[in-house]
Amino acid sequence: MERCEVLVVGGGPAGSVCAGKLVQAGLDVLLLDREVFPRPKPCAGWITPPVLEILKLDPEEYGQGRVLQAINAFRTGLIHGAEVCTRYDAIVSFGIRRYEFDHFLLQRSGVRRILGEPVFSLERHHGGWLVNGSISARLLVGAGGHFCPVARLLGAPVGREDVVVAQVAEFAMNREQQRLCRVPAETPALYFCRDMKGYGWLFRKEGFLNVGLGRMDRADLSRHRRDFCTFIGERWGVDPGMVDHFQGHAYRVCQRRGGRTCVGDGALLVGDAAGLAHPQSGEGILPAIESALLAADTILAAGGDYRRDRLEPYAAGLTSLCGGKSMKIPAATSSSAIARFLGSRLLCNSWFARHVVLERWFLHTDPHPA
């Protein structure tokens, strides 16, 4: 029998950051992930500067032998429509590869781990948990992403929730592809669907290209994605054949009401398991890390008593973390005629692109958020 105080299920950013903080404080922590790291993860790999700040990551050091693409401009517009380029004097974002980033964070956490083993059973056992019939833990941290088994245990109606569905492909371009691809590396492009129910992105990170599309409805996702590929082929010289290998995934966005139950007796959820991605941009790495640190603080303050009421401060902390994030893209909540009007007129307006699309929805640097 393997024993630990805290079992962290999932080794993405949420799991490894939470585990790392608990290990540093001297707790006996075990992390379990069904994958062997480094592992691919469907993601655009866009992070905002607070991610590096909170993680105390030195860009120079992280960038040694890993992709860290500085970004100081964005192109925004409509698929098959007009677009604007917004430039900044400073670096406003970075591009990373999740294959490298998640592996780095997991190694840095120093946590004892079992990789390549999924959690398939969770049973109550002597006031704690028996996991997969062979691991005994007093507390479970559910960091297994949208389909996390701990989230199911706490009652998440997985498969019946409103989710963002997305498809993404990331690959290293060969010399010829790099020559033909006209996308500038420091300028990711975001193109909204005409119905404003999602957007596609085109993101060059050093020698890698990342292409994807996410939508708030599941209908015709592949058709929307194929149409987007045709569009970027015409506009940017990206050969549609290059982006053949799409992976799909789903996630929940942060909601003030109707979100998942994130705390139970001897269990709590962090990151995507808790459904914390930003509602407008889909940014999930930053909230995953913020929730992980909040969870670790709550666990340490609980002093070994992991009953629900001792873990409740975490739920309250999550509510303020989500505060102000629960606005939807205004156009997406309006009638389709208004949405089309706003989409076609405003997205290509340079003031709206800078101050609303980028600084309010994506970069969160707007001092007066809606």
Ligand X SMILES: Cc1cc2nc3c(=O)[nH]c(=O)nc-3n(C[C@H](O)[C@H](O)[C@H](O)COP(=O)(O)OP(=O)(O)OC[C@H]3O[C@@H](n4cnc5c(N)ncnc54)[C@H](O)[C@@H]3O)c2cc1C
Which positions lie near ligand X, rule CB under 6 A? 9-15, 32-35, 41-47, 118-119, 143-145, 147-149, 166, 168, 212, 214, 249, 251, 271-273, 277, 282-286, 288
> Which CB atom, from 14 or from 137, has the smaller least distance to ligand X?
14
Task: Output 214 or 317, the one with its CB closest to ligand X.
Answer: 214
Ranked by CB distance to ligand X, the top (closest) residue is 284
Min separation Cβ 68 and ligand X, Å: 14
Q: How far apart are CA 163 and CA 208, in angstroms?
A: 28
Cα separation values, 177 from 45, 169, 212, 241, Å: 20, 15, 18, 11
Nearer to ligand X, 143 or 173 (CB): 143
Percent composition of the chain: helix, strand, coil (DSSP 3-state, to 5): 35, 25, 40
Residue 88: CB minimum distance to ligand X, A? 18
Nearer to ligand X, 138 or 225 (CB): 225
Q: Alpha helices, DSSP H only, in the chain?
A: 13-24, 49-55, 59-62, 98-109, 149-153, 175-180, 221-236, 285-302, 308-322, 330-333, 336-346, 350-352
Tokens of 22: 């608990």
Q: For ligand X, which is the closer residue by CB, 284 or 343? A: 284
In terms of C-beta density within 10 A (0-12 exposed, 13-18 middle, 19 or more buried), how is residue 273 classed? Answer: buried
Smallest gap from residue 114 Cβ to ligand X (A): 9
C-beta of 59: minimal distance to ligand X in Å?
Answer: 17
What is the torsional sign of CA 218, 40, 183, 278? Answer: positive
Q: C-beta of 305: minimal distance to ligand X in Å?
A: 26
